[in-house]
Amino acid sequence: MSGILSLLKSRKFWVMVCGQIPAILMWGEDPALAMKAVMTLIGVFIGSVALEDAGTKVGKSLAARDANKLSEHLNSISTDK
């Protein structure tokens, strides 16, 4: 349930939803072009979420690596005394 709530709070999601409105209104004139617009917006949304998730994971792993290096450095200083 928290996944749905976070989706509903996402600005990217609402931009995608608002972008779908002109595409749906265009459906009667050119269904093929409207479908391309819908699929493009969905693809951009999925890609941006994946990129954000990847950035979060990389940031956490870099932070963990830096924390481990700092801990090792502090341990080496304390054992040298």
The larger pLDDT score, comparing residue 62 to residue 51, is at 51
Whole-angstrom Cα distance, residue 3 to residue 34?
29
C-alpha distances (whole Å) from 35 to each of 25, 29, 38, 70 are 11, 12, 5, 52
Quick one: what percent of the chain has pLDDT higher than 70? 93
Given a cut of 60, is residue 81 above it in pLDDT?
Answer: no
The pTM assigned to this predicted structure is 0.58
Q: Which residues contact 49 (CB under 8 A, 6 or more apart)?
A: 12
Q: Which residue has the tokens 């917006």?
A: 41
Contact 41, 59 (CB under 8 A): no
**18-49, pLDDT tens digit by residue?**
888 888 888 888 889 888 888 888 888 888 88
Q: Is the pLDDT of residue 52 over 80?
A: yes
Q: How far apart are CA 54 and CA 47, in angstroms?
A: 10
User: In the predicted model, is pLDDT for residue 2 greater than 60?
Assistant: yes
